[in-house]
Amino acid sequence: MSEHACIQEKEIGRILGILEPIVKEFYGNGQKGIAREFPELRISVNNLNTTVESLRINVSALTKTIVSSDAVAVYKEKEKLSSRQRTSIYVSAIVGTASIITTLLVKLL
């Protein structure tokens, strides 16, 4: 029976040898350790989430601004074509009116 107890002690010693570095890493062994850094990491993750949300809103607003400025540019281009068409109509109307007046003057004289 004493052999059996000795085998168990070796196994327990091996497990403790494996666990000891893990425990030191978790509790820090005189430094912060995972147990103390984890809450700070959660705060950092929450701050990152807030920053990402803010960036998402800003990118969305920027995208809307770009789309609306593109729409304004397209509208101005259409309006420009419309102004050209109006100018051509006015010139045609003036030339037509001048030709009618000229024809009437020629017939009257």
Q: What is the pLDDT of residue 109?
A: 67
Boundaries of domain holding 63: 33-108
Residues 52 and 79 in one domain: yes
Number of domains in the chain: 2
Q: Distance (Å, rounded) from C-alpha 102 to C-alpha 21? A: 109
Residue type, 14: R
Asked if the model's pLDDT at residue 35 lies above 60, the reply is yes
Contact status, residue 27 vs residue 35, Cβ threshold 8 Å: yes
Give the CB-side neighbour count of residue 105, counting CA atoms within 13 A: 6
In this predicted structure, what is the pLDDT of residue 1? 46
pLDDT of residue 4 exceeding 50: yes
Q: On the CB side of 78, how many CA atoms lie within 13 Å of its CA?
A: 6
Mapped onto helix, strand or coil, the DSSP state of residue 31 is coil
Which tens digits make up the pLDDT trace of 45-72?
A: 888 889 999 899 988 888 888 888 887 7
Residues 27 and 40 reside in one and the same domain: no
Residues 7 and 18 in one domain: yes
Q: By percentage, how much of the chain surpasses pLDDT 70? A: 92
Q: Which two tokens stand for residue 70?
A: 């593109």
Q: Is the pLDDT of residue 3 over 60?
A: no
pLDDT of residue 79: 73
Q: Are residues 66 and 26 in the same domain?
A: no
Assess whether 52 and 97 both reside in one domain: yes
- Residue 5 pLDDT more than 70? no
Task: Kindly list the distances between the CA atom of residue 59 and the CA atoms of 48, 50, 53, 55, in Å, as whole numbers in the listed order.
Answer: 16, 14, 10, 6
In a shared domain, residues 17 and 47 = no
Do residues 43 and 62 share a domain?
A: yes
